Amino acid sequence: MSKGEYIKQVNKCEINKERIRKISEIYGVEIEGVIAKAVSYADSETFFDDERRALEFSEITNPSSFGKTLLDEKAIPVVDVYDGMYAVYLIKEDKWALYSSADGSIFKKRDSLDDVI
């Protein structure tokens, strides 16, 4: 699967209300739009371009495995980019970004998921 195919699948995915409820409980926020579709699409590992991997729903619902920063920043991870870096959605800022699990830094903030992966 290519990055473009992944983005296309996410955008056409139906929103899974039960998953959205679970994310709201864990992260303490309501989500909608592309992030809601990405969470709904996370049925199994999906590999695409350059070793990127869409996270499984069970991984997204376990933010402590990525480090404390994700919950503090209200950042929801959706794609394992490579080498301990993840594409995340920053709820407070309505931005997509990269997150480094090595040092907890968040960088490369952009308006779309496509721009960070």
37-77: per-residue pLDDT in tens? 999 999 866 888 778 999 999 999 998 888 777 888 889 99
Enter the pTM of the model.
Answer: 0.90
Query: Which amino acid type is present at position 91?
Result: I
| CA distance linking residue 116 with residue 75, whole number of Å | 14
- Domains contained in the chain, number: 1
Question: What range does the domain containing 56 cover?
Answer: 3-116
Residue 62's CATH number: 3.40.1580.20
